Amino acid sequence: MTELLAVQNVSFSRSGGRGNTRPILKGLNFEVKPGETVAIVGQSGTGKTTLAHILAGLMPPTSGSVRYKGVETQHLAHRQNRSLRPDLQMIFQDPYSSLDPRQTVSAIMDEPLWARALDDGQKQKRVSDMLHALALPPESLGRRAHEFSGGQRQRIAIARALVGYPSLVIADEAVSALDASAQARVLNLLLEQQQQTGLSLVFISHDMAVVQHMAHRVIVLADGAIVEEGPTGQVFANPRSAHTAALIQKDLWKDTNV
Ligand SMILES: Nc1ncnc2c1ncn2[C@@H]1O[C@H](COP(=O)(O)OP(=O)(O)OP(=O)(O)O)[C@@H](O)[C@H]1O
């Protein structure tokens, strides 16, 4: 098997009022290979977050399929697929909705590790390594999520996603709310984990400089359809679509005006 995630003909429509449906995603096809980072970029409202939720199996596509290691992601929660569940992790944009505020950091970190064949000492070491890598003090373990700031919660959510040695992480604007030093720390950690464990990433970001730094391949969405796809160097050096050129231009403009 060459692909880890296979997206085939995925469309998604939202129902509007009076029986209308509005197409959000239109016939998407792409793959993510082991150890690969695929960035998904596009203007606001073009369907990136909707796609992330469908890829992670949090909602079904209207038509088409998303298979992770051959299993439809919407069926990953089923009992027979439970061992695959910790393999595919998602980092959401908003840590306030993605973490249970009453859970301790220790309990949050335990969940992705339950299925891993590690002894208690190895699990403790993995948790403390992740906290350290994300500049969260060891005392964090006994505290509850609501006791942390937004930036700290986001780092806890990132530690949770990585602690169980996932094969695939879907990161939706995972670092956009972090300050520059925390951003650099997280991006380096993701690259390091990729080198060490062969982690694959679906990386959704509006920040084209970060995309250029992180991704092997870029997929450009416009109005719910793929308008360009290719190796990162090629897409940035020679964008074929006006949408891609506009995204790159906008980012350059931003950088010269900080
Ligand atoms: N819960 C919802 N109910 C109705 N429409 C929605 C809902 N969530 C998103 N949409 C609509 O679906 C479309 C795609 O939204 P989505 O959030 O997936 O885009 P996006 O590319 O991630 O945007 P952004 O970069 O601003 O986060 C938009 O037109 C949005 O208004």
Q: Taking residues 181-206, report their average pLDDT.
A: 95
pTM, two decimals, is: 0.92
Pocket flag, ligand 1, residue 224 (CB < 6 Å): no
Does residue 218 carry a pLDDT above 90?
A: yes
Question: Domain coordinates of the chain in residue numbers?
Answer: 5-96+166-256
Q: Which atom of ligand 1 is nearest to the CA of 53?
A: 18
Pocket flag, ligand 1, residue 104 (CB < 6 Å): no
CA of 161 to the centre of ligand 1 (A): 23
CA of 202 to the centre of ligand 1 (A): 18
The predicted pLDDT at position 1 comes to 53
The predicted pLDDT at position 75 comes to 83
Q: Whose CA is nearest to atom 17 of ligand 1?
A: 49
Q: Which atom of ligand 1 is nearest to the CA of 206?
A: 25
Residue 96's pLDDT band, with cuts at 50, 70 and 90, is confident
Pocket test for ligand 1, best of 49, 53, 207, 220 (most atoms within 8 A of CB): 49
Pocket flag, ligand 1, residue 98 (CB < 6 Å): no
**Which of 45-49, 87-91, 112-116, 149-153 is predicted with the least confidence, judged by mean pLDDT?**
112-116
Does residue 169 carry a pLDDT above 90?
A: yes
Pocket flag, ligand 1, residue 20 (CB < 6 Å): no
The predicted pLDDT at position 4 comes to 93
CA of 49 to the centre of ligand 1 (A): 7
Pocket flag, ligand 1, residue 176 (CB < 6 Å): no
Residue 199's pLDDT band, with cuts at 50, 70 and 90, is very high
The predicted pLDDT at position 257 comes to 45
Give the model confidence (pLDDT) of 101-140 as tens digits: 999 999 999 989 987 888 999 999 999 999 999 999 999 9
Pocket flag, ligand 1, residue 256 (CB < 6 Å): no
Q: Whose CA is nearest to atom 25 of ligand 1?
A: 44
% of the chain beyond a pLDDT of 70: 95
Q: Taking residues 40-61, report their average pLDDT.
A: 94
Q: Whose CA is nearest to atom 4 of ligand 1?
A: 14
Pocket flag, ligand 1, residue 193 (CB < 6 Å): no
Cβ-contact 228, 243 below 8 angstroms: yes
Pocket flag, ligand 1, residue 45 (CB < 6 Å): yes
Q: Taking residues 247-257, report their average pLDDT.
A: 67
Please determine, looking at this structure, whether the domain spanning 5-96+166-256 carries the CATH number 3.40.50.720: no
% of the chain beyond a pLDDT of 90: 77
